Each structure stands twice: as structure tokens, then as C-alpha cells.
Amino acid sequence: MDVTDGKESPNPILTGPHWPVFFHYALPSVAGLLALTTANIVDGIFIGNFAGADALAALNLLIPYFTFLFGVALALAIGGTVRAGKYLGEGKPEAASAVFSKCLIATFTLALAATGLCVVFHESLYRLLGASPELYPLMSEYFLVIIWVMVVQLVAMVLYYFIRVDGLPALATTALVLGAGANILLDALLVGYLDYGLQGAAVATGLAQLLQLGVLLVYAFKPRRQLQFRLRQRQWQEVVSAFTNGVSEWINELSVGLVMLLINWLLMSSQGVTGVAAFTVVNYLIFLSLMVFYGISDAMHVLVSHNLGAGNAERIRQFMACGATVILGLGVTLVLLVWLQGSGLIRLFLDTTEDVATAQLADRFLTILWPLFLINGLNVLLSVYLTAMHQPLPSAMVALSRSLILPALLLVLIHQFAPHWPLLAALPIAEWLTFGLALTLFLRFRPDRLITRAQPAVQM
């Protein structure tokens, strides 16, 4: 029986019409992440056109480190908001507030510690990332500024997720949109007009992140908020539990970083800086597609976790159907866009009079990679569903398969045993193989089965 029977719930997630509620949460999430993606893409456009292909390659070589650190914060954000959402669905705002406070404190502490280590060991990190010594100055120009920015950025990201789970997605999205808009304008000023290069791009990101955090802090003055920040906390093992439940998100980010590292190594050895720069351009388009799909899937964290707490399997099925339908439609649209305008999109990032070889190589890469856009969104959705249903191990299996085990294995196999094959074919093949696993796990851990299994414990 629905736990809301006999009561009028103020929570539309539990009782409202599913399509309007889905769009109420998904559209702000997609808009926010698209705004964030647009800012990153504009960074690439300005860096590629004003600082050159080598600067793009230097930026790409740093991505594995960024994904590792973002993954830790994202695991705390996702795992924490799933726990907080369940508590809110059960009518326990005090417990939800404790999770909120501990996740913010843990994120700030970890980000600050990582920054201190990077200040001391940055050149060792460059070597580990596979960079050649001639790229070190370009990497330092950006990295030694952005590591301080990331302290603010990671805290703001965790705060963004908790504000959404507390039913204020419009505020969270407004912060992202304003931050992204400021980043674009500051890129135009510092990189395009004043020609400060990679350092200017890092400063632009820092100023935009401060604006974004300022907007998010308006949440503290919202009278209807349920989450309260408290500095003094106990039972810190709950942070470990939150991270464990969000571990698939960390695996996603870490795996992307490791695969990027492997791709960079292989491309650097076979095609040099030109190959790395060409893949950087194409990777912006992959990143765009994933941000669209993550925006939709992030809304599912809120919708599924609340209804799990309320014991409502039918609502979960309805919201999953909404997400899958929209993701499939967007996947087809992205493929058509790549077919019709792929070459034009690539040339946005490069001065084709100076970087002709890089642009041509990026064109070839895109003709290999387009099939992954059809299926990567569904894999993300199914992994997120398993996380929201408190099934971290199956979720981690999907995340590991699509973003680390299969692509890394296929990259090595192609490089060693089929050098005549295009190396990057490993990525779409890995996504399609993962889909079979993800669909099998979804059917095994479908909503009615999990909620029926939990009913005796709820009724005790």
C-alpha cells in the first residue's frame, strides 16, 4: 500500500501527474548542466582559436586528474542526496540535514587537501598523465590557478545537488546558468580580447564559480527549506555509507579519467600532440551528449529515491519510462546533428588555416564515434536507477563496464592485435555491450521486486 494513503501529501513527487513532475525536475537539471557544458565548450572554443591546438592538448592531458577529484565529490553528492531524499520521503528532515552537512564538510576538506598536494607535486602529476616536458609550461599556466578554483567548484556542486533534492531545482539551475554565462563573458574578455591564454581561462572559471556559489547560498535564506547546515556532527561513518552508495558515480568519473589517460598515451605514441588535440575536440561533443543525459538521469535520483522511501513501485516505473523515452529521442537527435553538422562543429574549435591536420583527424574520429550517442544515455539512466534504488554493486558493475573495463580492454586489444582497426572504435562497442548488462540488471532489480522485498521490514 502507498504510505501516502489516507493523507494528502504536499510532495508532488509522490502524488503529482508523472510527466509534469518529471519535466519539472528534468528540465532545470538539463538546462543547468547544459549551461555548465556550454561554458566548458566555450572555454575550448576560445582556447583552440586563440591559444592553439597545443593548448587544447595540454588541457586534455589534465582531464584524468579533474575527473578523479570530481568523481569523489560527485559520489558524495549523489550518494548523499539519495540518502537525504529517502529520509525526506520518510518525513525525517533532521536525518537528511545531518547527511547534507557531513557531505559538504567532507567535500571541502578533501578538495583543500588535494590542492595542497598539487601545489607541491604538480610536475610529477604531469609526468604521470603522459605529458611531454614541452607542454609543462602550458599545463602549469592553467593548472596552478584552477586547483584553487576547484575547492569552490566542488563545494558548489555538492550544494547544487542537495538544493535540488530539497525541492528547489529552479534556484540550483539559476546558479548554474548565471555562472556559465559569466564564464563565457569572462572568457571573451580574458582569453579572446586580452589574450591571457590558459591562465585567463582558469581565472574566468574561478570568478564564475564564486558567482555561482553566491547564488546557491541564497538557499540559506529560503524559509521553506528542509535541510539545515550544522558544523558539529557525529556518526561520520554515514559519509562512508553515502560515498559507497554513490560509488558508481565516482567509478564513472574515475573510469573516464583512466580511459582518457590510456587514450592520451596511445595517441601520443602514435600520432603525437596532433592526435591528442583532435580527440580533445571530439571529446567536447561526447561531453555535451553526456551532460544532456546526466541532466535527465540526475532528476531520476530525486524522483526514484523519494518514491522508494514511500514504497511506490508504480511511480518509479512511470518515471523510468519518461526518462527512457526522452533519452532515446535526444540520442537520435544528436546523431542526426553529428551527421549533418559534425565538420562544422569541429571547426568551431580550431583555426583551420593553422591546424588543418588536427581538424581533419578530428573529422575522422567523429565518423567512428557517432554510434555511442544512441546508447550511452540509456546506460547512464540505468546505472543511476540502480544507485537510487540502493543497489550500489549492480550500479557499479554497469558504470565499470561502460567507462573502464570494456573500453580499456578493447583499446588495448585493438592497439595490440588489430592495429588496422580505428583505435576509438573501442568506445561505441563498449557502450553497446554494456547496454545488454544494464538491461539485464534492471529486470533483475525492477521496482516492484525490490519494494516488495523491503515491505516486511517497513511494517515491523
pLDDT tens digits, 233-278: 777 877 888 888 777 667 767 777 888 889 988 888 888 888 888 8
Give the DSSP H or E segment for 220: none
Q: Is the pLDDT of residue 401 over 60?
A: yes
**Measuring CA to CA, which residue among 173, 240, 386 is closest to residue 300?**
386
Query: Helices marked H in 311-349 — which ranges?
Result: 313-347
So what's the pLDDT on residue 458?
Answer: 40
Report the C-alpha gap between 294 and 327 in whole angstroms.
Answer: 10
Give the integer Cα–Cα distance in Å for 114 and 121. Answer: 10
Is residue 273 within 8 Å of 84, Cβ to Cβ?
no
The average pLDDT across 326-344 equals: 86
Is the predicted pLDDT of residue 18 greater than 90, yes or no?
no
pLDDT at 454: 60
Mean pLDDT of the chain: 85
In contact, 142 and 58? CB cutoff 8 Å: yes
Flag whether the pTM goes above 0.75: no
β strands within 11-87, DSSP E: none
Q: How far is CA 117 from the centre of its chain?
A: 24
Q: What span, in angstroms and rounded, lies between the C-alpha atoms of 297 and 301?
A: 7
Read off the C-alpha cell for 224.
521553506
**Predicted confidence (pLDDT) per residue in 369-393, tens digit:** 999 989 999 999 999 899 888 888 8
3-state secondary structure of 116: helix
- pLDDT given at position 115: 94
Name which of 5-14, 23-32, 166-175, 439-448 the model is least confident about: 5-14
Confidence of residue 83 (pLDDT cuts 50, 70, 90): confident
| Beta carbons within 10 angstroms of residue 27's beta carbon | 16
Q: Write down the pLDDT at residue 6.
A: 45
The pLDDT, as a whole number, for residue 253 is 74
pLDDT greater than 50 at residue 51: yes
